[in-house]
Amino acid sequence: MRKIQMVDLGSQYQKIQKEIDNAVIDVIHSTQFINGPEVKNFQNALEEYLGVRNVIPCANGTDALQVAMMGLGLKPGDEVITTSFTFVATVEVIALLGLTPVLVDVFPDTFNIDPDALKRAITIKTKAIAPVHLFGQCSDMEAIMQIANDHNLFVIEDTAQAIGSDFIFKDGSRKKAGTIGQVGATSFFPSKNLGCYGDGGAIFTNDDKLAETLRIVVNHGMQVRYYHDSIGVNSRLDSVQAAILKVKLRYLDDYATARRKAADFYDNAFANNPHLITPARSNFSTHVFHQYTLVTKGINRNKLQEFLMSKEIPAMIYYPVPMHMQKAYIDPRYKEGDFPVTEMLSNSVISLPMHTELDEEQLNYITKNVLEFVNQ
Ligand SMILES: *Cc1c(COP(=O)(O)O)cnc(C)c1O
């Protein structure tokens, strides 16, 4: 049996090695490492795939979120609502810009933001909502956009974990994750569903005027060379990464299919087990399974992780500490117990290996060992 990894980038690379190698070597021969034609080519390909008017490539997903908030003109003191159960980046950039993060709880079955809790968190200072499409499926964007429209708020979609997933509206129409709010932000970190071989990110928007502003922000606040009309940042996707991403974008839907197949295998193996709750699939979103995350019940989650490690099965806790309990974000407004669902999840979730290259032998071995521990 091949070694089991949380993410198997090596086996994935081997299948497309020639294409990737050629793309990289072409960039090296061109010596156009920054802002070369490959960046524009990838940008165009991603715009077409997502059905969005503008993609602005940048250096990483955290920058994508920061640039989005800068481009929207959010000012210190403005409140941005996001979730207490997420990767730190979303909250980090809000705090870095001097904005006020306002946290709300999530649903226990999808791990995504609860629109009713969101509505209750709105104050006179609220300017934006930053839903995170966690683990590979969309938050309830129809409900969120309705709330945003009613209260005149921007929506910044953190789609770092859900690129390629479809939001399905009540009328049956679909839009890609990250293209529904004013702006979407994603990451091309190697382990993400569309990952490059280093750092990368992008911002999406259908608003041409906002796109122009975002392009200025990522380029030192500069439109005309060496004239700086606003404070910006330096955030670029390099040409080598863009060339790799252009190859991998062609496989993104196949990758999602492979991930869903592994998720189906897990779901079947764990169905009706009293100690394991399998991840819910929303009827308003397709699931691209960035992670396969179980909620455990009545077992010692950390001991399960240790047991799996002893069988050479990696498993991770995403995320062990809720945002309001992180040292850096301690805030007198919040205390333990304020976000009971998030806190329950942090204490009970476990994510199993999930990637495009899991085979049946590996899946059998993983599920057999999980069941051996929980049923003992
Ligand atoms: C990975 C991730 C980010 C940050 O992306 P980087 O490219 O690592 O900066 C932001 N938000 C979420 C939800 C993520 O998973």
Q: pTM (2 decimals)?
A: 0.97
| Per-residue pLDDT tens listing for the chain (376 residues) | 999 999 999 999 999 999 999 999 999 999 999 999 999 999 999 999 999 999 999 999 999 999 999 999 999 999 999 999 999 999 999 999 999 999 999 999 999 999 999 999 999 999 999 999 999 999 999 999 999 999 999 999 999 999 999 999 999 999 999 999 999 999 999 999 999 999 999 999 999 999 999 999 999 999 989 999 899 999 999 999 999 999 999 999 999 999 999 999 999 999 999 999 999 999 999 999 999 999 999 999 999 999 999 999 999 999 999 999 999 999 999 999 999 999 999 999 999 999 999 999 999 999 999 999 999 9
Distance (Å, whole) CA 5 – CA 22: 27
Residue with the nearest Cα to atom 5 of ligand 1?
Answer: 61
Indicate whether residue 60 lines ligand 1 (CB < 6 A).
yes
Domains of the chain listed by start with CATH number: 9-103+112-249 (3.40.640.10), 252-374 (3.90.1150.10)
CA–CA distances in Å: residue 205 to residues 196, 223, 250, 271, 364: 21, 19, 21, 39, 42
Among 80, 82, 87, 316, say which to mutate for ligand 1: greatest number of ligand atoms within 8 Å of CB: 87
| Burial class of residue 231 (count of CB atoms within 10 Å of its CB; 0-12, 13-18, 19+) | exposed
| Ligand 1 atom with least separation from CA of 290 | 15
Task: Say which residue the tokens 């964007």 belong to.
Answer: 141
Residue with the nearest Cα to atom 3 of ligand 1?
Answer: 61
| Ligand 1 atom with least separation from CA of 199 | 7
| Distance of CA 175 from the midpoint of ligand 1 (Å) | 21
Indicate whether residue 190 lines ligand 1 (CB < 6 A).
no
| Distance of CA 323 from the midpoint of ligand 1 (Å) | 15
**DSSP state string for 52-108:** -SEEEEES-HHHHHHHHHHHTT--TT-EEEEESSS-THHHHHHHHTT-EEEEE-B-T
